[in-house]
A and B are shown apart, each in its own frame.
Chain A
Amino acid sequence: MSAFILFAKKRRSHYYLNDDAHKNTQDEGRYPTKRLKRLVPVWVILLAFAMTASCSVMSKDVQKSARKDLEFNTLLKNPESYTGSTVLWGGYILEIRNHPETTEILVLQSPLSFQDEPGPKDASQGRFIVHHKAFLDPEIFSKNRKLTVAGTFVETRTDAVDNHPYPYPIVETKEIYLWPKFEGYRYDPYPYHDPCYPYPFYRDRFHHSPFCW
């Protein structure tokens, strides 16, 4: 979409170049320059919108309410004062527990990067528990899968990691996103190189092209 806007913008500027030549003629009707000039801010806004839009997998709503400035570590230091605030966290699934009405997922936290995707495990600042009010299949939400979750921070609950007591922050889900499995890169077996080749099977950020919508 952004590619289209760029293209369109370029074509409009062609009219500007011809603007002077047609100033004193009656041809203005054929070149709708005035209207286009007025439209320039619209194009700029659209372009800016296309550049900033869809950088997260979470909904606009949740992004607005989530406290993105709130670091995982900061919350852990003083959890009581953050009760009820919306957080946007992610990480890797360690364990899933199915209860009669709900599901609990133990997650190894990892700071979010581009598109709110969890980064490497090494950057982890700890663990947390995702509390979901419905059944989630452990075959899908399996160990080591990447997860981004937006939800309300409820409390911390101390649970044991082996024999060590660990204070798990608990997040009640509002939105949950499971990242697609990474199945390795595939080479393009065709002599005609098509940038959209693996679409829609591998549309991740490495294979993404603005021409492939």
Chain B
Amino acid sequence: MAKKGMNLRKGAGLLLLLVFGCAAPLSQQARSQVTYTGSFSALAKEAQKFIGETTILGGKIIDVTAVTEGSELTILQLPLDQNQRPVDEDRSEGRYLIRFQRFLEPEIYKKGSLITAVAKLTAVEIRAIGQFDFAYPVFQEVELKVWPKSQPSGPLFHFGVGVGAAF
């Protein structure tokens, strides 16, 4: 009987883990502010038209700079998976900047870190990449999530047909 109770508790624990494991990386409060859900490339193409829109963004940090009012991240856009985690493959649709009212510690917000953010488009800024003039959409932070490096990029569950034995 005691053993059965243990199993129940284990099961409950596992269920709890599952629930938390799938929790969204962004708060409900931030997500409720989103006004634009279309593709990034469409937004970047005619950024002037979308100023004022709030959207969910994914990407990889290219650069962190501290400015007088706070910090600025230069980000390589990446698509998000179903857990809203960026997929670090080569399917980028461009770059963007996010500005923060607070200081971001460059040792934590390192180059190469993956991020998911809710942010509001405020401007378009042209900056050079080599000799190419790149038009960066500039966002203001609503909420930022930095993903730990060690987490696997694939889904935690895989459904497939296989032949095997379990004991």
Q: Which residues of A come within 8 Å of B, CB atoms?
A: 96-100, 103, 135, 137-140, 178, 180, 190-198, 201
Contacts and interface: CB of A to CB of B under 8 A. Distances in A.
Interface stretch (B23-31, B114-122, B130-138): B130-138
Nearest to B88: A181
Given A98-B131, A137-B76, A138-B129, A178 B160 contact: no
A41 B149 CA distance: 54
Cβ-closest 3 pairs across A and B: A98-B130, A192-B164, A98-B132
B162 A98 contact: no
A6 B134 CA distance: 52
Interface in B143-160: 153-154, 158, 160
A138 B130 contact: yes
Interface stretch (B33-41, B89-97, B98-106): B89-97
Contacts of B94: 137
A198 B155 CA distance: 10
Given A137-B92, A194-B160, A197-B160, 10 more contacts: A100-B132, A103-B132, A135-B129, A137-B94, A138-B130, A139-B60, A139-B76, A139-B95, A193-B162, A198-B154
Interface of B: 60, 62, 76, 89-90, 92, 94-95, 129-134, 153-154, 158, 160-166
A140 B92 contact: yes
A137 B131 contact: no
A98 B129 contact: yes
Given A178-B90, A180-B89, A201-B153, A139 B62 contact: yes
A99 B131 CA distance: 5
A139 B165 CA distance: 45
B41 to A, nearest CB: 13
A191 B164 contact: yes
Contacts of A96: 130
27 contacts: A97-B130, A98-B129, A98-B131, A98-B132, A99-B132, A100-B132, A103-B132, A137-B92, A137-B94, A137-B129, A138-B130, A139-B62, A139-B76, A139-B95, A140-B90, A140-B92, A191-B164, A191-B165, A191-B166, A192-B164, A192-B166, A194-B160, A194-B161, A194-B162, A195-B162, A196-B160, A197-B158
